[in-house]
């Protein structure tokens, strides 16, 4: 997939490497887009420059009416941020729609922006909220409005030697309401068929300014300029909302593709715009008035296990299930392949190899990740837990001596059919239970939304997760698996 893996630890070093390698290198952080593209042979590259060890690039700041998001801010960081819920509400909603928990914990906003697909969920809310991006290279820094950044499908103004250092946007005011709506072919892990972001400024009941952006309807995400003009000075009564839905059809020339025909996109756009405006008219559109989905557990990093980012040089030294490993021939591999081929741990499965099925789910420094999307060097000096390490640790007996309660529940409930998806289901489900011993059905469904079972045994799998009672669980903070059986 790549020949050389570089992991600089300073911004200066990173920019020098970018200048040196230019088009031969690609930046990798969460890896959730880059590794999929490399698996598919899109934009092949010889060199990856891993920026996850850079200090001070993972932050969310609010200052004097402005929000700043560091280049390593993930979708999950946004979802969990009270500041973003207050000041960038539609962005939070969009982040909740991205992939699955295993993706949101790792995928960065910066990565989503530079991938530049018109279907990417975070572009439309950031465009509607008039965001700008800060690009940096050895030549200096430049600030570009997001509106000018996109040049076509997956084409941007980003130069090969530049790094997206920060996203800036004006914070929502008390007079504004925002909303993100997405139509996909399923509820999770779906690429948008169309999406729309609304940012309306009200003077009483009247719209005094409208910013509405549309995804998947043109080569880039676009503003619905005619609709924005129409809404100015209007009250959002039912007739106006209906009319707006009709008017927006004239602004787009949708594409036909595998997800939907142009006709379908045009007709559903009408419904999406009308519904969105009606919901805003009813007062939705801010953290105070709109309930977000339950926070997906199974994503919180285990702070006691987070490793200090470490420079990397060829040999991966890592701890897997409490045992130190030295992997000498895995630097060009995914973590999944390194686990299976180099560490001999074949419990984690490859179903799709591109982040769609969750069969490869493991914990990396306490977070659930899809190991097929993690470059193996990111496990250097980190702690990995695989299905082989899930069985509870009894100090006198070591790992694996007693089944994890969730494993037992899967057996008791008959939750296993062919078994291929089960390692991933267990790793995602056990992390959920570690973080919330009393999940409800919605949380369980969200936590497992990245895990697909081809035998379609979801009901019993969810029942098994919800079946575990307090008497069967006891948090053992000393254990990486954090659950022990009494």
> What residues line the site for ligand FES (CB under 6 A)?
350-353, 355-360, 370, 372, 416-422, 453-455, 457
Q: Which of 241, 246, 250 is nearest to 275 (CA)?
A: 241
Cβ-based neighbour number of residue 143 at 10 Å: 10
Alpha helices (runs of H) in 71-152, residue ranges in sequence order: 75-80, 82-87, 89-96, 101-104, 109-115, 123-128, 146-149
CB of 101 to ligand FES, least distance (A): 12
Alpha helices (runs of H) in 129-203, residue ranges in sequence order: 146-149
CB of 314 to ligand FES, least distance (A): 25
- 147 vs 460, which CB is nearer to ligand FES? 460
CA angle 449, 430, 393 (to 5 degrees): 160
CB of 147 to ligand FES, least distance (A): 34
CB of 261 to ligand FES, least distance (A): 29
- 58 vs 460, which CB is nearer to ligand FES? 460
- 168 vs 340, which CB is nearer to ligand FES? 340
- 213 vs 367, which CB is nearer to ligand FES? 367
Residue 341, C-beta contacts closer than 8 angstroms, at least 6 positions apart: 330, 333
Q: Which of 296, 378, 371, 357 is nearest to 104 (CA)?
A: 296
CB of 384 to ligand FES, least distance (A): 15
Strand order in the sheet with 206-215: 176-184, 192-203, 206-215, 222-223
Q: Could you give the 3-state DSSP secondary structure of residue 230?
A: helix
- 284 vs 356, which CB is nearer to ligand FES? 356
Query: 60-63 and 66-70 as β-strands: parallel, antiparallel, unpaired?
Result: antiparallel
- 212 vs 357, which CB is nearer to ligand FES? 357
Strand order in the sheet with 66-70: 60-63, 66-70, 163-170, 132-137, 140-145
CB of 107 to ligand FES, least distance (A): 13
Alpha carbon distance 41, 179 (integer Å): 36
- 102 vs 122, which CB is nearer to ligand FES? 102
CB of 34 to ligand FES, least distance (A): 15
- 369 vs 432, which CB is nearer to ligand FES? 369
Strand order in the sheet with 47-50: 4-6, 47-50, 25-28
CB of 408 to ligand FES, least distance (A): 17
Alpha carbon distance 97, 111 (integer Å): 16
């Amino acid at each position: 997939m790549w020949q050389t893996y570089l992991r600089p630890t300073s911004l200066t070093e990173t920019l020098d490497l970018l200048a040196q390698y230019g088009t031969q290198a690609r930046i990798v952080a969460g890896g959730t887009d880059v590794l999929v593209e490399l698996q598919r042979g899109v934009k092949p590259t010889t060199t990856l420059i891993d920026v996850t060890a850079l200090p001070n690039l993972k932050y969310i700041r609010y200052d004097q009416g402005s929000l700043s998001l560091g280049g390593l801010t993930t979708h999950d960081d946004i979802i969990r941020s009270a500041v973003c819920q207050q000041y960038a509400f539609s962005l939070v909603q969009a982040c909740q729609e991205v992939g699955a928990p295993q993706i949101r914990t790792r995928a960065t906003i910066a990565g989503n922006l530079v991938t530049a697909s018109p279907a990417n969920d975070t572009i439309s809310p950031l465009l509607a909220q008039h965001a700008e991006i800060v690009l940096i290279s050895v030549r200096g820094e430049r600030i570009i409005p997001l509106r000018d950044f996109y040049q076509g499908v997956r084409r941007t103004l980003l130069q090969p030697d530049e790094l997206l250092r920060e996203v800036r946007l004006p914070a929502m005011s008390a007079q504004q309401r925002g909303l993100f709506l997405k139509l996909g072919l399923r509820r999770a892990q779906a690429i948008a068929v169309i999406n729309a972001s609304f940012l309306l400024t009200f003077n009483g009941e009247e719209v005094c300014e409208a910013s509405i952006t549309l995804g998947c309807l043109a080569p880039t995400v676009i503003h619905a300029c005619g609709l924005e003009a129409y809404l100015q000075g209007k009250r959002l009564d039912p007739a106006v909302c209906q009319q707006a839905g009709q008017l927006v059809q004239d602004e787009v020339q949708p594409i036909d593709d595998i997800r939907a025909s142009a006709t379908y996109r045009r007709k559903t756009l009408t419904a999406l715009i009308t519904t969105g405006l009606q919901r805003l008219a009813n007062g939705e559109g801010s953290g105070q008035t709109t309930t977000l989905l339950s926070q997906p557990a199974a994503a919180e990093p285990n702070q006691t296990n987070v490793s200090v980012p470490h420079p990397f040089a060829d040999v991966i030294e890592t701890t897997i299930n409490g045992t130190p490993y030295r992997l000498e021939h895995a630097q060009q591999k995914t973590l999944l392949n390194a686990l299976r081929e180099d560490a001999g741990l074949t419990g984690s499965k490859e179903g799709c190899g591109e982040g769609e099925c969750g069969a490869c789910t493991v914990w990396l420094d306490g977070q659930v990740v899809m190991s097929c999307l993690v470059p193996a060097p990111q496990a250097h000096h980190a702690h990995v837990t695989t299905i082989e390490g899930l069985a509870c640790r009894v100090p006198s007996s070591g790992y694996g001596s007693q089944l994890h309660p969730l494993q037992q529940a899967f057996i008791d409930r008959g939750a296993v059919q062919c078994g291929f998806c089960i390692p991933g289901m267990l790793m995602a489900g056990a992390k959920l239970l570690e973080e919330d011993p009393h999940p409800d059905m919605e949380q369980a469904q969200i936590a497992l939304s990245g895990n697909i079972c081809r035998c379609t045994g979801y009901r019993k799998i969810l029942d098994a997760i919800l079946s575990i009672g307090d008497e069967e669980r006891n948090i053992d903070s000393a254990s990486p698996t954090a659950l022990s059986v009494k």
